[in-house]
Amino acid sequence: VVLPLVDQYFKNHRLYFLSTAIRPISSGGHASNKEKEMVTSLFCKLGLLVRHRISLFGSHATSIVNCLHILGQTLDARTVMKTGLEMVKAALRAFFDNAAEDLEKTLENLKQGQFTHSHSQPKGVTQIINYTSVALLPVLSSLFEHIGQNLFGEDLILDDVQVSCYRILNSLYSLGTNNSIYVERQRPALGECLAAFSGAFPVAFLEPELNKFNNYSIYITKGSQDRTALDLPSQVGEMCPVIPSLEKSLEEIMDLAESGLHYTQMPHVMEVVC
């Protein structure tokens, strides 16, 4: 009862929560800053519940993921990050940090060969597979798409959130270019998430040499001591060690186009790089 109600309510009133006095996009007025904080808090709390207890929802997992979808699409990240309570902003930052950690765990398990179709697969591995596939990837895709469409990246994806997003980026690309059976099923979803990410991220991660002109890059906003405290590499180009440059990525696409290879021979180029 509650999950479908919440889902439909926010679908019907989404523009109300995204409207502001300066930028009205709803004929029904605009939400107060307090209401916007409440939506953000609900998204973060529900996301945390799904992260730790997705198995409890069983066949209703789709309903709760749908709720997360629409709540993520209702967030006014600009207002919350500028005027919200620190507790609410901290919860939103924690969401991205948790997402980065979970994707890194998924990648680590994959590299260790722990993804199998056997009943002997460890319970924790099964849970991270289910969570990543059913909830995390689709919710991240939806959220990044929303951030990109509303240009919220320059207000939200800064400082420690930007660090978390770099980690998310590295894991998404590494997973998408892996050749395991698990990735074959998830590669389209990984490619979709990367595409949404690229539209939301306020930093030219494929062209790191241009970041010296980017006022949103953590390598501009933070001094060397602060970056060291965050355990960042000395050069921005080292933030994405697994990701090829824009020039290299374009070369891969051209090679595929000219070679006439089938999808099965270079699936990562079709689903991830392109």
User: Hey, what amino acid is at 119?
Assistant: H
From the list 227, 223, 165, the residue with the least C-alpha distance to 197 is 165
pTM of the predicted structure, to 2 decimals: 0.88
Ordered by start, the domain boundaries in the chain are: 2-202
Three-state DSSP class for residue 214: coil
Mind listing the pLDDT tens digit for each residue in 40-96? 999 999 999 999 887 777 777 888 899 999 999 999 999 999 999 999 999 999 999
Residues 6 or more apart in contact with residue 189 via CB below 8 angstroms: 133, 137, 138, 141
Mind listing the pLDDT tens digit for each residue in 218-237? 999 999 899 988 889 988 88
